[in-house]
Chains A and B, each alone.
Chain A
Amino acid sequence: MPDNIEYMYMGYAAMAIIMLAMIGWIYWRYRLAAHEEQLVDQFEAEERAERAAAGRAGARPVPEAGADAPAVVANSPLSEES
């Protein structure tokens, strides 16, 4: 019987490397995508919190008439003095 066991080891080692590379690649990309999804969740939650805060600020008592009008800065092109 020929002595060629080292080629058998080589074949199985090559199979193991390719299999592990395939599994590792899928696992690594899944972890990366899952992490990105967490970041998106976090960002969305922050956005919602900011909007809720802005909504509460918008619900304060309405200021007196005229207060909403845009202020005309002195010496600006829109001011009567200019």
Chain B
Amino acid sequence: MAYPSQRTRLLQGLTVATVVLFAIALYLALFWVGPERTQGEVQRVFYVHLGSFLGAFLSFTATVVAGIAYLRTRHPKWDTLGLASVEIGLGLSAITVITGMTWAKPIWNTWWTWDPRLTSVAIMWLAYAAYLMLRSGIEDPERQRRFAAVYGIIAFASVLFTIIIVRVRPDTIHPVVAGPTQADPTGSFDVTDRIRDTLFFNLFTFAVITAVLIWHRIRLENLVQRVSRRKMELLAEL
């Protein structure tokens, strides 16, 4: 069955809206908000860093929801959502890690350190990269989907661990944006009204970007599966 044209139009409209939102978010982060007093221009990376982490978190949450839904219903559409959200989440968390490194170099004087937060985010990234590799190693489609659903649920522990670690470990130097911390982080800054507004707009934009990218990836997967099915049918007829 072809992808409904009404949904295609909605996705196209949403994509255009996302591009506009992203342009505004960049304008706010690069021009509207001034440079932070103590950190200078590099602090502007923070809006993308936190926004992309929110996107990755939403993606991996979608993977959990998809995994639970698949195990309950055994409908392949949930597996497609799980796969799409892992791929998009991996890309977004790669942005989080790399923008964090570019911020860390001038602020911490190092690109990378085995801080509890940095270590946990590296484990999280590897856990989801392993999801894709292990998934592609299983040939039976039903087993593949079942494995992916269970793995997607278990791997979410690494996401929760990444969020919680800075709040419970006193030896982390990673700043905490919201909530209490037992540590004395290096690189914190005062949040002015403009910084707060820019941050919220960027968070909202990255949430929309995540949803749109996942939708595009689902649409691609549906097309790939349809073509594959039709090719098999053709071969069976010959």
Which A residues lie at the B interface, using CB under 8 A?
Answer: 1-5, 7-8, 10-12, 14-15, 18-19, 21-23, 26, 29-30, 33-34, 36-37, 40, 43-44, 47
Given the complex, which residues of B lie within 8 Å of A30, measured CB to CB?
216, 219-220, 223
Asked if B88 is at the interface of the complex by the 8 Å CB criterion, the answer is yes
**Contact of A7 with B105 in the complex, beta carbons under 8 Å:** yes
Which of these binds chain A: B91-99, B150-158, B191-199? Answer: B91-99
Given the complex, which residues of B lie within 8 Å of A47, measured CB to CB?
234, 237
Given the complex, which residues of B lie within 8 Å of A33, measured CB to CB?
220, 223-224, 227
Seed contacts A4-B106, A7-B42, A30-B223; 5 additional CB < 8 Å A-B pairs: A2-B106, A8-B42, A12-B48, A23-B213, A36-B227
Question: 1/0 per position for B112-134, CB-CB distance to A under 8 A?
Answer: 00000000000000000000000
Given the complex, which residues of A lie within 8 Å of B52, measured CB to CB?
15
Sample of 27 A–B contacts (CB below 8 Å): A3-B41, A4-B39, A4-B40, A4-B41, A4-B106, A7-B41, A7-B103, A7-B105, A7-B106, A8-B45, A11-B44, A11-B48, A11-B103, A18-B91, A18-B94, A18-B98, A23-B213, A26-B220, A29-B224, A30-B216, A30-B220, A30-B223, A33-B223, A40-B227, A40-B230, A47-B234, A47-B237
Choose from A3, A11, A40 the contact partner of B234 (Cβ within 8 Å): A40
B128 to chain A, nearest CB (A): 14
Choose from A11, A18, A26, A36 the contact partner of B42 (Cβ within 8 Å): A11
Asked if B37 is at the interface of the complex by the 8 Å CB criterion, the answer is yes
Contact A29 B220, CB 8 Å, known A1-B35, A11-B99, A14-B102: yes
**Contact of A11 with B45 in the complex, beta carbons under 8 Å:** yes
Asked if B226 is at the interface of the complex by the 8 Å CB criterion, the answer is yes
**Contact of B102 with A18 in the complex, beta carbons under 8 Å:** no
Given the complex, which residues of B lie within 8 Å of A34, measured CB to CB?
223
**Contact of B237 with A15 in the complex, beta carbons under 8 Å:** no
Choose from A5, A21, A22 the contact partner of B88 (Cβ within 8 Å): A22
**Residue among A2, A8, A18 having the largest count of chain B Cβ atoms under 10 Å:** A8
Given the complex, which residues of A lie within 8 Å of B234, measured CB to CB?
40, 43-44, 47
Question: 1/0 per position for B139-161, CB-CB distance to A under 8 A?
Answer: 00000000000000000000000
**Contact of B48 with A15 in the complex, beta carbons under 8 Å:** yes
B67 to chain A, nearest CB (A): 22
B23 to chain A, nearest CB (A): 13
B33 to chain A, nearest CB (A): 12
Asked if B217 is at the interface of the complex by the 8 Å CB criterion, the answer is yes
Given the complex, which residues of A lie within 8 Å of B94, measured CB to CB?
18
Question: 1/0 per position for B190-224, CB-CB distance to A under 8 A?
Answer: 00000000000000000000000100110110011
Q: How far is the CA of A72 from the CA of B230 in the complex (A)?
A: 42
Chain A residue at smallest Cβ distance from B15:
A23
